[in-house]
Structure formats: C-alpha cells, structure tokens
Amino acid sequence: MSETHLQDALDTLKTTGVRITPQRHAILEYLIQTMAHPTADEIYKALEGKFPNMSVATVYNNLRVFREVGLVKELTFGDASSRFDFVTNDHYHMICECCGKIVDFHYPGLDEIEHFASQVTGFDVHAHRLEIYGTCPSCKDVSAKVQ
Ligand SMILES: [Zn+2]
Ligand SMILES: [Zn+2]
C-alpha cells in the first residue's frame, strides 16, 4: 500500500515538473512510512546517515516543494516546530499533551460542519482542521506507575 502511495507521489512530482532527486525520493519514502508526523529536524536526523551533505534547510526546502504540489501538509502548533504529514485521504489528529505524539484517526461525516458553517457565515469553505487533545496510552502507563 505504501508502495503505491510512493509511486503516486512520484507521478505527481513528474506531472508538475518537479525534479525527483534521491533526497526528495528518500524524504517522501520516509514521510509515507512513518506515522509520527515528523518535524523537518526529525526527518533530517533520520536521513543524515544516507545523505551526509544534506542540511536541515534542504529538508525544509524539499518539504516546501512537496507542500506546494499538495503532497504534504504542514501542521503548525503555536510556536513549536511545524510537523509534516503525507496527505492521504482526510483524517484527524489526536495529540498527546504529555509527549506531543500525534496519532491519525479517521472519522466520517464532518463535511456537514463545512456546509453548515458555509450557510451561516456565507463563506466559501476550503478546509477544516480538528485536533483532539489528551494523554496517550504510554504516557498514561508512566503516570500510573509513578502514583
Ligand atoms: Zn504521550
Ligand atoms: Zn496525520
């Protein structure tokens, strides 16, 4: 399944005229494999062994290119570093307030909110974002042991 995601992503780059460099290939592959919504820094650390000449700035620039062609979503959370998510179908985020872990979940039916919001405000709606905050299972375990 992640193989076809990667192939689709590479096709998208090709049709939009973006050059596929080995680094871009590796960053995409990493984003598709990981479920962790990494920061540019984390992507850099994961790949620096493979590409010793790559800098964090290069990773950022490549992520920006991916974002412009719609392959990657940038998630910003206040003043913390942006996290990056490979765009598949719509999903929402559960965020741990202890460790900052972000977990995807799918939930259908929230399109109704877009229609409703559009009707009551007269806006054209393009997107919405939903984040749910809590404590993840491993942080719950830790705090249970401490007590
Ligand atoms: Zn946690
Ligand atoms: Zn996600």
- Based on its alpha-carbon atoms, the radius of gyration of the chain, rounded to whole angstroms, reads 18
DSSP β-ladder status, 80-86 and 72-77: antiparallel
Ligand nearest to the CA of 134: 1
Unique residue bearing structure tokens 């749910």: 132
Q: What is the pTM of this model?
A: 0.72
Query: Ligand 2: distance of its center to the CA of 133 in Å?
Result: 14
Coil, strand or helix at 73:
strand
Q: Which residue intervals of the chain bear CATH 3.30.1490.190? A: 89-147
Is the CATH code 3.40.50.300 the one for domain 1-88?
no
Ligand nearest to the CA of 74: 2
Q: Rounded mean pLDDT of the chain? A: 88
Q: What is the CATH number of domain 89-147?
A: 3.30.1490.190
Of 61, 59, 57, nearest in space to 46 by CA: 59
Query: Ligand 2: distance of its center to the CA of 33 in Å?
Result: 12
Q: What is the pLDDT of residues 137-147, one digit of tens each?
A: 999 988 777 66
Of 29, 103, 109, nearest in space to 72 by CA: 29
Q: Which residues are found with C-beta within 5 Å of the ion, ligand 2?
A: 85, 104
Q: Which residue intervals of the chain bear CATH 1.10.10.10? A: 1-88
DSSP β-ladder status, 102-105 and 72-77: unpaired
Query: Ligand 2: distance of its center to the CA of 147 in Å?
Result: 32
89, pLDDT greater than 70 = no
Range of lowest pLDDT (54-58, 87-91, 115-119):
87-91
Coil, strand or helix at 82:
strand
Ligand nearest to the CA of 102: 2
Tokens encoding 27? 């960053």
